[in-house]
Amino acid sequence: MSCEHLVCAQCAHPVIEGRCPMCRASRERMHQHGFAGLSPALIALLLIALFLLTLAINHLSGL
């Protein structure tokens, strides 16, 4: 979703302009990056943990 066409309920201006605190907060919330609400750092940490778990399982199955 994009904030280009949204109108702020508080100041009645486009949210993309960020004229009031509510516009700015909505714009920042919509432009947050990440996947499913997770930060990129947390996603990287989960991928590393999954990789290490895969290595451990692979090592144990080879014994």
pLDDT (tens digit, 9 = 90+) per residue, 17-53?
Answer: 888 999 888 888 877 666 666 777 888 999 999 999 9
Assess whether pLDDT exceeds 60 at residue 62: yes
C-beta separation of 16 from 24 below 8 A? no
Note whether 1 and 15 are same-domain residues. Answer: yes
Number of domains in the chain: 2
| Sequence-ordered list of residues with C-beta below 8 angstroms from that of 19, at least 6 positions apart, any chain | 8, 11, 13
Token pair 């919509």 in the structure block, residue: 30
Supply the pLDDT for residue 56: 95
Note whether 25 and 43 are same-domain residues. Answer: no
Note whether 1 and 19 are same-domain residues. Answer: yes
Banded model confidence at residue 3, pLDDT cuts 50, 70, 90: low
Domain limits for position 26: 1-32
- Closest residue by Cα to residue 26 from 43, 47, 49, 9: 9
Supply the pLDDT for residue 50: 97
Supply the pLDDT for residue 26: 83
Note whether 42 and 63 are same-domain residues. Answer: yes
